[in-house]
Structure 1
Amino acid sequence: MPVEPKPMHDLPAHHLVPDALTPEQIESKAEHVAISKANMPLIKLFVLAMFAGAFVALGAAFFTVVMGDAQMGFAAQRALGGLCFCLGLELVLLCGAELFTGNALMVLGKASGKISGRGLARNWSIVWLGNFVGALMLAALIFMSNLQGMNGGAVGDAMVSLAVGKVTPAWHTLFFKGVLCNLLVCLAVWIGFGARTTADKVLGIILPVSAFVVMGFEHCVANMFFLPMGLAAKAAGFGTAVAGVESLTAGSMLYNLSAATLGNIAGGILIVGVGYWIAYGREAHKHETEVEKLAE
């Protein structure tokens, strides 16, 4: 006999709590999430990292199509593109994936002594590489689908233009754009940790994520799609009229990724991670330590 689902009024009370977690509860949750991430089996971690790279690339591709419409005004185009880009982090948070930028919050687990520096470095290195592989695979699929040919080739031109705009600024400019980017991304992940429903997560991340996109900040995982896609579109003959197109090379791609990655780490760790640990985790950790000493 099939089992009938329980009516809502028969569910335990904790299933009906409508409010989000408090900041203190979010900090504690982030510490415990860091434990599972630091101890995740290699294959599982790498596959989930590939998914995250592909998910962010899907959001980036969505954004690129919007940027391929030159008839839109600057602010309207950026705002709509930013909303479209949110697809990537929504998929990461709702479907389950390992994103390098969001995993900067694992520093909370390290600060509380729940994970080791080795475990943190292991996660970050594997996830960064997995994100890159996933983004490259999605870029290859997008290119073979001829997305760049949409709107009479305007989308392909936009791919080149976006990539050129990411390799021409000074390294320190890209670094600080990376800092600001992951400040917003980690705040979006923080909101996601506190959310109790799918709707909460989706609504909560929209403004932080779209804000960093609209303001042109640098997200290393998104750039793992934007830059190879721009190179491929350039090789296919798109973007010939883009100013500075000759600066778009494999070397300049690494130039951007180095600055964006280090900036993302700094923004996620030093501002959001360490800041919230000092505010909410430090006293809790001190209390835990005192309790352990009394128990000895």
Structure 2
Amino acid sequence: MSDAGNQARTGAGKDQGPDVHPPKRIAEATTWKGEQKAGMDTPVLAVLAALAGVYIAFGGLFFLLAQAGADAMPYGAAQVLGGVVFSLGLILVLVGGAELFTGNTLMVVAWAEGRAGFTPVLHALGIAYVLNFLGSVAIALLAFWAGLHMAGDGAVGAAALRTAERKSGLGFGPALASGVAANMLVCLAVWLAFGARSAADKVLVIVPPITAFVALGLEHSVANMSLIPFGWLVKAGAAPEFWAAAGTDPGTYPALGFGGLVANLVPVTIGNLIGGVLVGAAYWFAYLRPKQASGR
């Protein structure tokens, strides 16, 4: 293995300079990480993917808390606040260590480099997606059973309903386009985190892109795996006192249900795949393909 490859694995040979490694070093680290993820033992991958779903769901719940009563704030300020707190999810994934479907679309770099086969990459992405979903839904259920929707005199539950209804009612085209843009920003956050030298550096580079995607109202499939089910649970199972406190009723949310969940996740997942592949392929072309052409 080359010295660059060893440095990407171990972090040895760090140069003096900025807190984030240069793009070429990040590309090499992304290749190695993609190879590692594609070859991961399936039970380990499943556990780490379930954890990623849990972590992103925690970020989603934090987002809903920030949105409770957001009508009293200017729209932009409320959205930015929601984005900042939602960053918790990806921070837990990347600093704590977990396998997130959307970020793992960067495995395209390892595939393009010939370091991971197409079938292992698809297998790893599929396992991550399914277990992300299970982990996300588990937290949505726990949050509902814990009565989180009643917090703030029903304000958190009302925010969950509004958020889930908006996402469930998106058309295929807007959801697809939103999914592309969202995962470009998520993968840029992951890319920068791969180049960070410390946990603090990772946090600093993760927050701005994640804040941007959430504040812009873009669509992230794994986030929606908890946000939509939680809103659906509130609609289907909240007690009458919730509806009285929140000042709304179930009929206000006609799109919210299983059909709305599927109608959102299908185009958003496709868009997330496209967005992640675009980012990974662009950086592979810029920093790794010329090496291949020169007979590296």
The match for 1:28 is 28
Work out the CA distance in 2 between the residues paired with 1:175 and 1:149. Answer: 33
Q: Alignment length, in residue pairs?
A: 277
Report 1:7-46 matches (<5 A).
Answer: 14=13, 17=16, 19=18, 20-46=20-46
Q: Measure how far apart 1:244 and its partner are.
A: 5.2
Partner amino acid for 1:94?
V
5+ residue gaps, structure 2: 1-10
What percent identity do the matched residue pairs reach? 39
The match for 1:161 is 162
Q: Measure how far apart 1:190 and its partner are.
A: 0.5
The match for 1:267 is 275
Partner amino acid for 1:161?
R
**Contact 1:18 1:196 (8 Å CA) reproduced:** no
Q: TM-score, normalised by structure 1?
A: 0.90
Q: Measure how far apart 1:232 and its partner are.
A: 0.2
The match for 2:3 is none
Closer, same or farther in 2 for the Cα pair 1:141/1:13, shift >3 Å?
closer
Work out the CA distance in 2 between the residues paired with 1:175 and 1:253. Answer: 14
Task: Deviation per CA, 1:167-191: give whole Å up to 9, x if none.
Answer: 1121110000000000100000010
Q: Measure how far apart 1:243 and its partner are.
A: 7.8
Q: Measure how far apart 1:246 and its partner are.
A: 1.3
Task: Deviation per CA, 1:128-170: give whole Å up to 9, x if none.
Answer: 0010011011111111111100111111111111000001121
Q: TM-score, normalised by structure 2?
A: 0.90
The match for 1:278 is 285
Q: Measure how far apart 1:17 and its partner are.
A: 4.3
5+ residue gaps, structure 1: 1-11, 292-296
The match for 1:246 is 254
**Contact 1:161 1:242 (8 Å CA) reproduced:** no
The match for 2:195 is 194
Task: Deviation per CA, 1:181-229: give whole Å up to 9, x if none.
Answer: 0010000001001100111100111110000000000000000000100
Whose radius of gyration is greater, 1 or 2? 1
Asked if residue 67 in structure 1 is aligned to residue 67 in structure 2, the reply is yes
Q: Measure how far apart 1:76 and its partner are.
A: 1.5
Asked if residue 221 in structure 1 is aligned to residue 222 in structure 2, the reply is yes
Closer, same or farther in 2 for the Cα pair 1:13/1:219, shift >3 Å?
closer
Q: Measure how far apart 1:269 and its partner are.
A: 0.2
Work out the CA distance in 1 between the residues paired with 2:59 and 2:108. Answer: 26
| RMSD of Structure 2 on Structure 1 (CA) | 1.7
Work out the CA distance in 1 between the residues paired with 2:126 and 2:153. Answer: 40
**Contact 2:192 2:206 (8 Å CA) reproduced:** yes
